[in-house]
Amino acid sequence: MTRSGESPPPGRPRPADRLADLLRVRFGHTAFRPFQEEVCRAVTDGADALLVMPTGAGKSLCYQLPGLARGGTTLVLSPLIALMEDQVQALQGLGLAAGRIHSGLDRAESAGAARAYLAGELDFLFIAPERLAVPGFPELLARRRPVLVAVDEAHCISQWGHDFRPDYRMIGERLPGLRPTPVIALTATATPTVQDDILEQLGIPGARRYIHGFRRDNIAVEVVEAKPSSRSSIVCRVLADPVRRPAIVYAPTRKETEALAGLLGGSFPAAAYHAGMSATARDRAQRGFADGRLEVVVATIAFGMGIDKADVRTVVHTGLPGSVESYYQEIGRAGRDGLPSRAILLYSWADRHTHRFFLERDYPPGEVLARIFAALGEDPRPAEEVRRRLGIDEEVFSSAIDKLWVHRGAVVDPEGNASRGVDGWRPGYDAQRAHRQAQVERMIRFAAGHGCRMVRLVEHFGDRADPGTPCGLCDRCAAADCLVSRLRLPTTTERERLTAILGTLRERDGATSGQLHRELGDPGARGREALEGLLGALARHGLVELRDDSFVRDGATIRFHRVFLTRAGRLARAGSVDAVRIVETAAAAAPPKKAGRSKARPPAPAEAASPAALDADQSELFEALREWRLGEARRRRVPAFRILSDRVLAALSRARPTDHDELLEVSGIGPTIAKKYGRAILDRTRKR
């Protein structure tokens, strides 16, 4: 193996020259997928790289193949234990030596993988990022440097990403000990801002960027404004046609997934899937969908990571996703076989309330954090004592102290004692909270926006290689082909307003939509929405063009669009707007009688037992669980609440689960927690 950036001795072939043979012999592929070869050659030759490609486009090969070509062990950092296990199993199935080290393994298994790594017996070693915090572990890795470091799900390192994980911040701090080994960061969802942050955090600002493959030419995206009470019936009508199945339906809450799955199940095989179900029930739904026994799965965002089903014809969202990144990832599960597919998003302005609830729960106002910061002293004291003194709700305090710790405004030890951190925490937190708000606003702008949907998505991820041509399939390009919405003639009032818009633009071309709204004299939010619909109709008819614009006020970027007349619009005469068509939601079929109406309200917080409400036996178990949690927190060198909160421990003490399925029924315990800590928890809950 040659060191990064070095050329092989004269007469010896470059490792990159072996790629085609390795692709065929090791992986059984006769050709590269689009964009793969360029990335593989650069990384094999020792270049640092950032690869952003959609799910299913073949990112994993872009570190696996170069690692083999470079001749040594590739170190892979991955945040998802289940995905890590799947990848290790797949590589072993190809006859490659792959090991892993994570918290779900016992000490002997982890030690065995470490010995194999040091002995040079592994082609790939997968580790969870939190392992880098274990004393001595980074030094162990540096004793025999890998030939390549792959950081999977790299968006997790960025506080601007949709799945930020503080554990990932350690990666950049530990990489210097493994250099000059090349680094490749991989993710399916990273905007240009997140891309910049990934490279900065990893300390590889000069890495080559490969942002490719975001256009999906076979997915027709349709976005429809629909009242929450009508969405179930719309889904039933769309999926009644067998051509639209198999399908995945994403619903905002667990309750809605179960209600809608019950509705659909009366007509064809369907099932719910969410983190609150038992592992057996989830596995049954996932296997049934994968092998074709189920035609539809109605799920929360917990579903999809382990699914590689090529023939999904339809993906429906019955509520506004929290970000364009997560939306794109979810619709990308449709049409992986290349055949025509459709993605339908049902939303309304009422969805803002649900997202506002989640924001207030997960990112409390900065003033709440400031009160806690002011109450902390130089000397550590129990965080619970601070909470009681301030009179802050337990759930709010838990989120606030966690964020304060992440942004270094608080120092919290494993025992739960907190002291004051650095003074400069506030700007970082406020920026992150504002970014979360902005993600929802960007999703709303996408839903209500004009222009080709696919072009908008491609632009969002900064795919500069894309030609930028309209897709010809989405609701903006082919409104007449939509399933849920339809075109109609404008009313007399609408014709008058369409004519007035064109008249105003002849006097002041390039006016903003806000200016048009004010000048046409239809105040209120509904009037603004109606105007946007009319502008969209004029744009589809080729009479106006809408161009994005923005300005900065008080440090925030305000985005809007300007409206310009096209040549046809300037030449339009009286009566020309009669040919314009307005988009409206088609009447939905009446749902079966057992359908319940979904309410546009945020989900109530999960009920959890309070530690103070436990009886004597439950309190004994609670203390045993706290003792275990303290040991785990000390081992990982994080605050105890980063493991499990007191509320979850209290819920465990009350439920006393005896097996994995019962464990998953406990509020606050999801599949990831159960996978990571399930064995340790059950060892304690079964004994008492």
pTM recorded for the entire structure: 0.74
Please check whether residues 204 and 227 belong to one and the same domain: no
617 plus 562 within the same structural domain: no
In angstroms, the CA 187 to CA 151 distance is 9
In three-state secondary structure terms, 194 is: helix
Q: What whole-number distance in Å separates Cα of residue 640 and Cα of residue 634? A: 8
Q: Is residue 645 within 8 Å of 668, Cβ to Cβ? A: yes
What gap in Å lies between CA 315 and CA 219, rounded to an integer?
10
Q: What is the CATH number of the domain that holds 77?
A: 3.40.50.300
Same domain, 147 and 288: no
Nearest to 104 by CA among 686, 675, 687, 523: 675
In a domain, 379, yes or no: no
Whether residue 384 is contained in a domain is answered as no
Indicate which CATH number applies to the domain containing 650. Answer: 1.10.150.80
Q: Express the helix, strand and coil content of the chain in percent, nearest 5 each.
A: 45, 15, 40
pLDDT in tens, 411-434: 998 888 999 999 999 998 998 898
pLDDT computed for residue 286 by the predictor: 87
Residue given tokens 């596995």 in the structure block: 283
111 with 182, same domain? yes
Do the domain assignments include residue 405?
no
Residue whose tokens read 């089903």: 309
How much is the pLDDT for 12? Answer: 55
Q: What is the pLDDT of residue 607?
A: 40
Q: Can you give the pLDDT at residue 200?
A: 92
Which phi and psi (to 5°) does residue 542 adopt? 85, 15
pLDDT for position 112: 93
Mean pLDDT of 510-524: 77
Structure tokens at 496: 């008058």
What's residue 292's pLDDT?
A: 92
Residue labelled with tokens 């990384």: 43
Distance CA 191, CA 556 (A): 18
**Least confident span in 142-156, 241-255, 542-556:** 542-556
Is 207:49 a contact under the CB 8 Å cutoff? Answer: yes
User: pLDDT tens digit string along 453-474?
Assistant: 999 999 998 888 888 999 999 9
Q: Are residues 254 and 320 in the same domain?
A: yes
Let me know whether 576 and 617 are in one domain: no
Whether 248 is covered by a domain: the verdict is yes
Shared domain for 92 and 185, answered yes or no, is yes
Mean pLDDT, residues 95-124: 90
Q: 591 burial class (0-12, 13-18, 19+ CB within 10 angstroms)?
A: buried
pLDDT at 410: 94
What whole-number distance in Å separates Cα of residue 446 and Cα of residue 322?
Answer: 12
Regarding beta strands 410-412 and 417-420, do their DSSP bridges make them parallel or antiparallel, or are they unpaired? Answer: antiparallel
Q: Please report the pLDDT score of residue 594 as a whole number.
A: 42
Least confident span in 178-187, 514-523, 633-642: 514-523
Can you give the three-state secondary structure of 340-383, one letter per residue? CEEEEEEECCCHHHHHHHHHHHHCCCHHHHHHHHHHCCCCCEEH
Same-domain check for residues 197 and 224? no
- In whole angstroms, give the CA distance from residue 663 to residue 659: 6
pLDDT in tens, 4-20: 334 445 555 677 778 99
Check: CB of residue 313 under 8 Å from CB of residue 244. yes
pLDDT for residue 609 is more than 60: no
- DSSP classification of residue 640: G
Smallest CA-to-CA distance from 419 within 454, 381, 447 is with 381
Question: Do both 553 and 680 map to the same domain?
Answer: no
Q: Which among 277, 273, 301, 267 is positioned nearest to 287, based on CA atoms? A: 273
Structure confidence at residue 600 as a pLDDT band (50, 70, 90): very low
- Which residue would you say has higher pLDDT here, 106 or 318? 318
What's the length of the chain? 688
Claim to verify: residue 156 and residue 237 sit in the same structural domain: no
More confident position, 514 or 381 = 381
Does the residue 680 lie in any domain? yes
Q: In this structure, is residue 471 part of a structural domain? A: no
In angstroms, the Cα distances linking 290 to 80, 308, 314, 505, 654 are 21, 8, 15, 54, 36
**Residues facing 582 on adjacent strands:** 488
Task: Check whether residue 180 and residue 204 sit in a common domain.
Answer: yes
Q: Is residue 590 part of a domain?
A: no
- pLDDT band, residue 518 (cuts 50/70/90): confident
Higher pLDDT, 187 or 673: 187
- Three-state SS at 462: coil
Region 344-349: what's the mean pLDDT? 90
Whether the per-residue pLDDT at 3 is higher than 50: the answer is: no
Place of tokens 């790594």: 117
Q: DSSP string spanning 432-451?
A: HHHHHHHHHHHHHHHHH--S
Q: Which residues lie across from 101 on neighbouring strands?
A: 127
Pairwise CA distance, residues 665 & 688, whole Å: 19
Please provide the average confidence, as pLDDT, over all residues in the chain: 85
Closest by CA position to 609, among listed 640, 642, 649:
649
On the question of pLDDT at 183 being above 50, the answer is yes
Residue 91 has pLDDT above 90, yes or no: yes
Q: What is the pLDDT of residue 11?
A: 53
State the pLDDT confidence band at 610, using cuts at 50, 70 and 90. low
Domain count, the chain: 4
**Domain end call among 211, 238, 253:** 211
Q: Is the pLDDT of residue 603 over 60?
A: no
Which pLDDT score, from 0 to 100, does residue 611 have?
66
CB atoms within 10 A of CB 301: 16
- pLDDT tens digits, one per residue of 482-496: 999 888 888 888 888
- What share of the chain in percent tops pLDDT 70? 90
In eight-state DSSP terms, residue 31 is S
- Can you tell me whether residue 282 is helix, strand or coil? helix
Q: Are residues 195 and 245 in the same domain?
A: no
pLDDT of residue 406: 85
Which phi and psi angles does 125 have, rounded to 5°?
-125, 120
Residues spanned by the domain of 72: 15-211
Quick check: 190 pLDDT over 80? Answer: yes
Q: Is the pLDDT of residue 444 over 60?
A: yes
Note whether 146 and 184 are within 8 A (CB): no
The string of DSSP codes covering 50-108 is EEE--TTS--THHHHHHHHHHTSPEEEE-S-HHHHHHHHHHHHHTT--EEEE-TTS-HH
Q: Is residue 561 part of a domain?
A: yes
Cβ count near 85 (within 10 Å): 17
